[in-house]
Structure 1
């Protein structure tokens, strides 16, 4: 389904051509002055240069043609040559009907079935998720969902950190605590010898301590590096212990991602790419890209035209061990073999931009993939002091604790507002969980992903303003109207007819959803979806307050209003689904 501006652009282009001008001048955009018009065309200004005529004259000729078309309520020239357009109620009603019949609900189908791999999440195993893992997970999930909705074969890969120094640190600390365990012996026999049994609490305590020790004790750090190297080279006892770490870690990760409504098609990790490292080295050798530098293997990346220096990328350290760059390049080989993608999108912290600039350039030089690689950086979640968000004690908060804090705060808010006063405790818990998670996710996603933002749970839980709570409340308000009028949620809208300005405003916001979806995908920026759904919810609120929908005596008007309610609900739920936010029935 074409967006509204695309449809109008074709109509205005025909008008330009009818006047003897190039149809390309007919591009239409959303008006930035809603008090004057809904849409505008600025093509007369470019036309003035091409045809040596005043823009006001060209615009006037085009408007004369447009006024013959009944899709416009108003088409007028504004000096010095703007074409201002406002749609007729009949045409808006027709467009609303088309959207209600569209199975894609205005999401432009631009993917064409092409495969894109979305790399997001990226947690290290052997330790619990913390709040620093929030943004990659929820931004990546939304981008993936939007790509799927637009017709891409979008696959999400968590890209676990499961093969690096953090595993070596855990192995080292465990070896000191349980030196007699067989998995630390040189003669460990897989399948015969037992492995140390771990649990989440133990790993949660072991990793931070091991990390702290490695920063204070060079010998301890060297032991961990050696353990990492031996793991990567297949030491049997360490591999068996690594499998136990994975057995314990993965379910805990899934539990927290499930709470966020985040899912991955593939749970690949650095370990899965390890088997492609040899192939990577061979390719780089064949292309004569590898060099030795102080015992390490590197690839020079500088190119003619670089505005600033770019350091070589290290492929192998002097002890032959791998780095993140090695694994990331090997992962590109793996993805090319597994998916043959047209794009690989990396949703990662903006502070990793230089690293991925190096990885992408090396991959291009080596011809590892034909996919377009994109760095989709995100900013920092800060506390009210403007610094990275911490616990009251100054530590990094576990993600699970943050989500539970939001749930409890939502429950307090709902109880204080007398919402759900008749609900059971189980129902209150369920609603509070969804409201709390929605508050966190919407509060994050409404900011452009590249920007830092202030985390303010009280603000995010407000029933007013640009909050997830407000959006969910709008849905429950529509639910209430439909239930009281005995209208099925899945009923097909029977009539679209506009009677007032508040209806026109709501209709326009629904019509513009396609534009917002298109921009969100092009920019890989879910904040556009948040802005769009807020505008729809806000317009619905005004429509709701202006009209007594349930008590309306005129059946035709009431049916038109209920049709608008049904479509509004459908569109809000579509937006929420793209944001991976669950709705609620009541609140």
Structure 2
């Protein structure tokens, strides 16, 4: 179904046209003065110069037509030419009922559904996930769910870092520890020989050791670069060991992402794009875009109107190895062949913006995708501690994501210890859901491009703008509906101002989803879910739903409570937040 402002814009535009004015002036927006009206149109001001009439006169002509429409309880003009509109209660109830029966719960569906690939997550194998991976995962997941909720075909790709120097470092360190393993022998036979069995904890220790060693030991560093090159060249023993590293790493990554409620459709990595690199190089050569510079192969991507220097993008290093730009460009070729997407979104740290500007410009010059295909960098800010610096552990290290998950889960368990509403057997599951709601909502309520302060005490609060507050609201409605039993629930009227305010919030939800999709910003979904909960709280405290003696009112209030629950749950589902029955 259409958003309410689009629907009203069609009606008001038709009224402008009926009066002999340009229908484009009939754009309707939500009012920021609900004490005056619900919606407004300021198009009359644009018509003043065109039609040589006072805005007040144009607006009055249109208002006279709109007063004949049964959906408006008020269509009035305020000088110098504001057109103020308020819907009848019947119209509001009819739209609320249509939202309730809509399989999409009022989320506007794309007129022309698009195929969208979302690149998010981006972890490196052989390394543990840390809190730096949190934002990419939960923002990308929310955007994926939002785009799908709006009717698009969406593919989420984790895009593993599985083909770069970090693998060479791990191979080199393992070779020093286990020099007699057959995978390090020149005559390794994949049909007969085996590789050492690895585990996630071992890899979490091996990589930082190797990384630190490479910074102080030039010989070790050179060996790691050689190992990376030989892996990418197909050395059998290294390929076999690499597959074992992937097996262990991906299992560990899937376990952690699962706890976050993040699910990728594709587990492709840089290695999957490797076979497209020769095609990429040929395209760049045939189009005379690539040239040698200091032994490396580069492509110029600067533009005349650049306000800052734009270095060329390196597509092959002087040692003939590939780098991130190479695999990112090859991945664009792969995605175009596999999905023919209308859009490719990259949910990546803000600090990667220059890199992706270079990659996108190179892709455009090389015509790796059709001109109409959108390549968009969706940068996100940093999760900071109370000192305003990137969040660290107490000893100053980078916190592992698994440790963060355990911290919030333990905090949730503490909250549930005294609860008589949650059984002992359900507490672990409830604690996980509460913890995830806390950190996800605490993150997503901020615009993705902004830095924010991670404050667990604030995020875990049952009051204020938190995920816990939203779960509590759903739990409260669950309790109401349980007490009501089989009582009839049907929207029959609007009896109080608090109902009218709540229903209006519901009516505006379609516009919120339109804006969130347009700006690729889940924070609008968070804010709207919170506003629905606050409006419901006002309605709940003003009216005694269960004890209401008027059965008609009680029935309508129960239906309104049920619809509120449905809509909040819809919002939370898009944010990747699970609800709980009781709190």
Q: CA RMSD in A?
A: 1.3
* 1:139 alignment counterpart: 139
Q: Would you say 1:503 and 2:499 are equivalent positions?
A: yes
1:496–1:564 Cα contact (<8 Å) kept:
no
CA distance in 2, matches of 1:571, 1:342: 29
Deviation at 1:94, TM superposition (A): 0.8
Q: For 2:564, which of 556, 560, 568 is the aligned residue?
A: 568
SS in 2 for 1:318: coil
Q: Deviations over 1:87-125 (max 9, x none)?
A: 111110011011111111121111634211000000000
SS in 1 for 2:53: coil
**TM-score, normalized by length of structure 2?**
0.98
* 1:108 alignment counterpart: 108
CA distance in 2, matches of 1:578, 1:503: 25
CA distance in 2, matches of 1:111, 1:351: 35
* 1:298 alignment counterpart: 298
* 1:481 alignment counterpart: 480
Q: For 1:395, which of 397, 401, 426 is the aligned residue?
A: 397
Change (3 A) 1:496 1:335: farther
* 2:127 alignment counterpart: 127
* 1:470 alignment counterpart: 469
Deviation larger for 331-340 or 112-121? 112-121
CA distance in 1, matches of 2:410, 2:141: 25
- Which consecutive aligned stretches of 4+ in structure 1 deviate over 6 angstroms post-superposition? none
Deviation larger for 421-430 or 538-547? 421-430
* 2:430 alignment counterpart: 431
SS in 2 for 1:155: strand
Matches within 5 A, 1:135-214: 135-214=135-214
Deviation at 1:422, TM superposition (A): 5.0
* 1:244 alignment counterpart: 244
Matches within 5 A, 1:517-536: 517-536=513-532
Deviation larger for 66-75 or 79-88? 66-75
Q: Deviations over 1:566-585 (max 9, x none)?
A: 11111111101111111111
Aligned residues: 581
Q: Deviations over 1:36-55 (max 9, x none)?
A: 22111110110112111111
CA distance in 2, matches of 1:406, 1:44: 54
SS in 1 for 2:315: strand
Matches within 5 A, 1:369-448: 369-370=369-370, 371-415=373-417, 418=418, 420-448=419-447
Deviation at 1:35, TM superposition (A): 2.5
**TM-score, normalized by length of structure 1?**
0.97
CA distance in 1, matches of 2:201, 2:574: 34
CA distance in 1, matches of 2:378, 2:555: 45
CA distance in 2, matches of 1:146, 1:348: 18
Matches within 5 A, 1:343-382: 343-370=343-370, 371-382=373-384
SS in 1 for 2:475: helix
2:114–2:152 Cα contact (<8 Å) kept:
yes
Q: For 2:553, which of 557, 560, 569 is the aligned residue?
A: 557
CA distance in 1, matches of 2:5, 2:543: 29
SS in 1 for 2:476: helix
CA distance in 2, matches of 1:113, 1:35: 38
CA distance in 2, matches of 1:453, 1:496: 44
Q: Deviations over 1:176-217 (max 9, x none)?
A: 111111111111111211101111110011111111111222
* 2:18 alignment counterpart: 18
Deviation at 1:487, TM superposition (A): 4.5
Change (3 A) 1:294 1:101: same
SS in 2 for 1:558: helix
* Structure 2 gap ranges (5+): none
SS in 2 for 1:98: helix
Deviation at 1:161, TM superposition (A): 0.3
1:171–1:224 Cα contact (<8 Å) kept:
yes
CA distance in 2, matches of 1:170, 1:209: 9
Deviation larger for 182-191 or 450-459? 182-191
SS in 1 for 2:386: coil
Deviation at 1:59, TM superposition (A): 1.6
2:384–2:391 Cα contact (<8 Å) kept:
yes
CA distance in 2, matches of 1:111, 1:175: 57
2:72–2:86 Cα contact (<8 Å) kept:
yes
